[in-house]
A and B are shown apart, each in its own frame.
Chain A
Amino acid sequence: MKLRIKFTKQGPVKFIGHLDIMRYFQKAVRRADIDIKYSEGYSPHQIMSFSSPLGLGLTSNAEYMDIEVNEIKSREDLIERLNKEMVEGIEVLECHELTDNAKNCMSLMAAADYTITIRPGKELADYNDFWNSIMDFYSQEQIIINKKTKKSEREVDLKPLIYDLHVDGEKLFMKVSSGSTDNLKPELVLEAYCRFLDIDYPEFTFMVQREEIYGNTGSETEVNLVPLGLIGEAVE
């Protein structure tokens, strides 16, 4: 039985890296005595996979992991058992049963929502107006940045990768392309915005939080974004 589990990553645990979060869940699953499936071979490992890594220092309300189990009492019971084993800041929110042929959460990833706030104590001088030009920025036809890789530097247009960008109260909200092909880091949008404002990118100023991850159930041209928890769900 395939299950998709949604959890948060808040507070101090935002300093735990992706690989360590994986190791954390492997142990939590054993503590919760969940009848997880193991791979074959000399050193069997739990069948468990995660959505894309969250950068160190970022918080999230929507992290996903897929596991395969032999049997569970109920999805509610699994959530309860896991939550008994969680540390502060990591909370299991949802558990969905998937069809056997469902793709894993990593390969499904097509987009993600982020909110950005200014870190307390790091308020910019013109803080109140800081996001004022965001619509001017977003309404440009192209948002060109120089993307540096280890080998080369090339110009990339971010515009087609940004699906939504707006200010919501004190926060900046963005829905951007995510996943293995066109992964757009929210920091890159913020860098482009700072360049647009003609200011230096202020280090350690923005607090980025992932709010949701989506898969695309439409086609490449007719995009239909659906939260990962709702894709491939088995009908009960």
Chain B
Amino acid sequence: MRKLALSDEILLKVEKPARYIGGEVNSVMKELSETDVRFAMCFPDVYEIGMSHLGMQIIYDMFNRREDIWCERVYSPWTDLDKIMKEEQIPLFALESQDPVKDFDFLGITLQYEMCYTNILQVLDLSQIPLHTADRSDSDPIVIGGGPCAYNPEPLADFFDLFYIGEGETVYFDLIDRYNENKKNGGSRHDFLEMAAEIEGIYVPSFYDVIYKEDGTIESFLPNNSHGKETIKKQIVVEMDEALYIDKPVVPFIKATQDRVVLEIQRGCIRGCRFCQAGNVYRPLREHSLEYLKDYAYKMLNATGYDEISLSSLSSSDYTELEGLVNFLIDEFKEKGVNISLPSLRIDAFSLDVMSKVQDIRKSSLTFAPEAGSQRLRDVINKGLTEEVILKGASDAFQGGWNRVKLYFMLGLPTETVEDMEGIAELAEKIAEAYYKIPKEERNGRVSIVASSSFFVPKPFTPFQWASMFQKDEYLEKAYLVKDKFRQMLNKKSLKYNYHDADVTVLEGVLARGDRKVAALIEEAYNNGAIYDSWSEHFKYGVWMEAFETTGLSMDFYNTRERSLDEIFPWDFIDCGVSKEFLIKEWQTAINEEETPNCRQKCSACGAMKFGGGVCYEAKN
């Protein structure tokens, strides 16, 4: 039997001990003596969240196909175990071997959202690895970060030896090979970092110096080591079908947030919504072929025994072979008791038809993401969704038997006015009215419309990276204004409005567009008990506010300050394909309330064409 890192006594004391025992179906065990490199892959949040993440499953599968590498999983221990491990000095371990993370060659941490940053420090701290790259010795694992937040790695620069900019399938093996080579040659940690810095897409933060101006903005950002490149180029898979997907996803014993087979149909997005980081940094759009997806659908369902399969992409309606794929899944698997769950599709005749086949209409709801309440503001954000389209889609759906609608909005978008905010309630009201236009005998009871708003946080590599944010109270006033407007609506009994917390928003703003100075803030907050900040029950706003005091950093510098077009941003050294010139042009087009066509309508020369594939070359075949 496998030995566990934790005693029975501890496991019986903590909530959901199955989070810590490993041994799940398709988890990979190897002989230590037959492997050269041990890679601990970490998602810095609780098991059920981390196990739901597709990217980590892809990397896990990819590494473990190579005989000489053993990749294992690590997640954040929940707060109950965190306390016990700290009290008893138990080192954090990987799930498969149950060995301490500090014995590994690499600790890879995926950076999926800013509010997990204190959990990264928790993982390092529990692993007994020095928090700062500067304090690590040759015997410590190489700590490497990747994922969407790596597009502004600077707030984490002190804590990571390396960052990987781009898609995991591209240069990881090269990195591991150089690691082996260095080990064989008896090279030091520093030698390896220099070798790693030579690889396209790999960023070694300690090889760069940042000089600040008196006003706190960046004067210069330059390599201090000849191996450090001036620009780090994002690495992507150009031909999606050439990359391997997951043969055997690990199946958790306990219910994960995403408890199904997930089929990634494409990467990137043609839409160009100006608030969306993913839509910009994952450009260009690259599709998988239908045949590839059919093959993996079989493989993954057979290997896991899941009774549900879902599609993953930023905008599934834009997948050119969606109809063929969905029909295949229904024909092939519906009879076998496999549920097909569709991500939010654009509501039209096709999607309504499909949804009626795969879902119980009485139990499902329609989802629209207008993001803004008025057409003017939807043009500003380049969300090509009109009121007409929403009302038509809703009407069709109501006639088909649906009676529940979910709407998603953002407050605090650039140029937002009172009319835009009130438009949220008015749009919800119009949808309710569309329902009551249907003859009474054809209606399916009462309509329920739930509108939710989050507060907009500007992200690097988007046209809105220059946008100013607001203060916490101003965000709340915006939400109250919308709530008041909802109360004035005729059909207010059919409408519901929820808004997110503003505490997390302002902090996310600081972490998203922060510079190297922010590292001290994160560390100070962690040392004073901040952890699991993305969990509202654990988020400690007060601790963070005190950390601002202690470190002398100003929230307004990062959030509400006006940024000029010629400012050097902390993330400017990264080339994600989309050029800064294009982003500036888009920012100005946004202010002028003008739309930009999507990639299939017309190329707007964003810069992503240089990768040599995807949608940029579709029409040119």
Contact = CB atoms under 8 A, between A and B. Distances in A.
A29 B305 CA distance: 7
Contacts of B18: 15-17, 20
A43 B4 CA distance: 38
Contacts of B337: 38, 44-46
Interface stretch (B247-255, B266-274, B436-444, B529-537): B247-255
A11 B4 CA distance: 9
Interface string B345-370: 00000000000000010000000000
B23 interface: yes
A225 B253 CA distance: 34
A216 interface: no
B589 interface: no
A30 B360 contact: no
B49 interface: no
Contacts of A27: 25, 251, 304-307
Interface residues of A, number: 34
Given A20-B253, A30-B305, A87 B25 contact: yes
A22 to B, nearest CB: 11
A81 to B, nearest CB: 12
Contacts of B305: 26-31, 85
Nearest to A36: B337
Nearest to A24: B253
Contacts of A44: 337
Contacts, number: 79
A11 B1 contact: yes
A8 B302 CA distance: 24
A204 B306 contact: no
A12 interface: yes
A88 interface: yes
B9 A204 contact: yes
Given A30-B307, A56-B12, A88-B1, A16 B360 contact: no
Contact of A23 (B11, B17, B23, B255): B255
A24 B21 CA distance: 15
Interface in A32-52: 38, 42-46
A15 B360 contact: no
Contacts of B17: 15, 56
A101 B445 CA distance: 43
A88 B301 CA distance: 21
B502 interface: no
A20 B19 CA distance: 12
Interface string A84-119: 010111000000000000000000000000000001
Contacts of A24: 25, 253
A226 to B, nearest CB: 31
Contacts of A28: 25, 305
A30 B337 CA distance: 10
B484 to A, nearest CB: 41
Contacts of B9: 122, 203-204
A175 to B, nearest CB: 25
A87 B25 CA distance: 6
B8 A31 contact: no
Interface string B240-268: 00000000000101110000000000000
A217 interface: no
A227 interface: no
B620 interface: no
A34 B301 CA distance: 14
A10 interface: yes
Contacts of B7: 121
Contacts of B11: 15, 57
- Rank and list the top 5 A-B pairs by shortest CB-CB distance, nearest first: A27-B305, A30-B305, A11-B1, A31-B305, A15-B17
27 contacts: A12-B1, A12-B2, A12-B21, A12-B22, A12-B23, A13-B21, A13-B23, A15-B17, A17-B18, A20-B253, A20-B255, A23-B253, A24-B25, A26-B305, A27-B251, A27-B304, A29-B305, A31-B302, A31-B303, A45-B337, A56-B12, A56-B17, A57-B11, A87-B23, A87-B24, A204-B9, A204-B12
Interface of A: 10-13, 15-17, 20, 23-24, 26-31, 38, 42-46, 56-57, 85, 87-89, 119, 121-122, 203-204, 207
Interface of B: 1-2, 4, 7-9, 11-12, 17-18, 21-25, 251, 253-255, 301-307, 337, 339, 360
Given A28-B25, A28-B305, A87-B24, 8 more contacts: A12-B1, A13-B253, A23-B253, A27-B25, A43-B360, A45-B337, A57-B8, A85-B305
